[in-house]
């Protein structure tokens, strides 16, 4: 099975072009931020959110050659307050990778209420044709609730969006999965 994180990268590569504006809603070690920085190039913009300074430091060191990335030490639920107003309707990709940062404090995790608030905002701010990806992990405490809430939110979107859920069909258990949401118009 293709890992959720790898599939997210495939979909984002098909979507983001040079000069685009994008968001990494959970920078962690900066893998997604680095992909977005590479795809958008110096004429584009990338905004990265994380609540952990260690995550932002790791991300900053991974993208040090890119000067079009703005890292924000804040929760993604503050996206609407912290992004420039002209980013609304202009963002072509918003990536979430939920759960905890591997190798760090497992108590610091994304939480259902703030994740759903940020996802609602992401749906409001994404450009027509743009893509939201969410790597979801039911295996840690609180992860199953968050996973269910993300899937329910995506399933309830109107037909102006196309939402998909890529998951394992057998022995599903705590396997990671991917939700992707494309704004059609």
Question: Is position 31 an interface residue for ligand SAM (rule: CB under 6 A)?
Answer: yes
For ligand SAM, the binding residue among 4, 12, 16, 28 (CB under 6 A) is 28
Question: Is position 108 an interface residue for ligand SAM (rule: CB under 6 A)?
Answer: yes
In the complex, least distance from residue 127 CB atom to ligand SAM, rounded to whole angstroms: 21
77 CB-side CA count, 13 A? 9
For ligand SAM, the binding residue among 21, 48, 76, 134 (CB under 6 A) is 76
Question: Is position 130 an interface residue for ligand SAM (rule: CB under 6 A)?
Answer: no
In the complex, least distance from residue 132 CB atom to ligand SAM, rounded to whole angstroms: 14
Our CB check for ligand SAM shows the closer of 61 and 160 to be 61
3-state secondary structure of 108: coil
Among 11-19, 29-37, 82-90, 159-167, the segment contacting ligand SAM (CB under 6 A): 29-37
Q: How many CB atoms lie within 10 A of CB 178?
A: 21
For ligand SAM, the binding residue among 110, 133, 147, 180 (CB under 6 A) is 110
In the complex, least distance from residue 182 CB atom to ligand SAM, rounded to whole angstroms: 20
Q: How many CB atoms lie within 10 A of CB 119?
A: 26
Stated as kind and residue range, the H or E segment containing 122 is: helix 112-125
Query: In angstroms, rounded to a whole number, what is the distance separating the alpha carbons of residues 135 and 73?
Result: 21
3-state secondary structure of 5: helix
Our CB check for ligand SAM shows the closer of 20 and 77 to be 77
Residues for the chain: how many in total?
185
Distance separating the N- and C-terminal Cα atoms of the chain: 31
Q: How many CB atoms lie within 10 A of CB 35?
A: 21
- Site size with ligand SAM, rule: CB under 6 A: 21
Going by their DSSP bridges, the two strands 69-73 and 45-50 should be labelled as parallel
For ligand SAM, the binding residue among 4, 45, 46, 55 (CB under 6 A) is 55
* Phi, psi (rounded to 5 degrees) for 27: -65, -35
Site of interaction with ligand SAM (CB under 6 A): 25-26, 28-32, 49-52, 55, 75-77, 97, 99, 101, 108, 110, 114
């Amino acid at each position: 099975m293709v890992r959720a994180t790898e599939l997210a990268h495939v979909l984002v590569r098909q979507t983001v072009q040079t000069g685009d504006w994008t968001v990494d809603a959970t920078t962690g070690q900066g893998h997604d931020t680095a992909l977005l920085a590479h795809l958008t190039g110096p004429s584009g913009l990338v905004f990265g959110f994380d609540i952990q300074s260690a995550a932002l430091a790791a991300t900053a060191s991974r993208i040090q050659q890119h000067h079009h990335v703005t890292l924000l030490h804040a929760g993604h639920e503050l996206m609407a307050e912290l992004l420039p107003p002209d980013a609304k309707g202009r963002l072509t990709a918003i990536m979430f990778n939920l759960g905890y940062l591997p190798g760090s404090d497992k108590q610091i995790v994304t939480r259902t209420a703030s994740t759903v608030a940020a996802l609602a905002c992401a749906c409001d701010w994404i450009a027509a044709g743009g893509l939201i990806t969410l790597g979801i992990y039911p295996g840690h405490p609180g992860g199953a609730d968050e996973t269910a809430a993300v899937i329910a939110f995506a399933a309830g979107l109107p037909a102006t969006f196309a939402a998909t859920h890529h998951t394992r069909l057998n022995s599903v258990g705590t396997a990671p999965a991917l939700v992707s949401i494309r704004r059609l118009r």
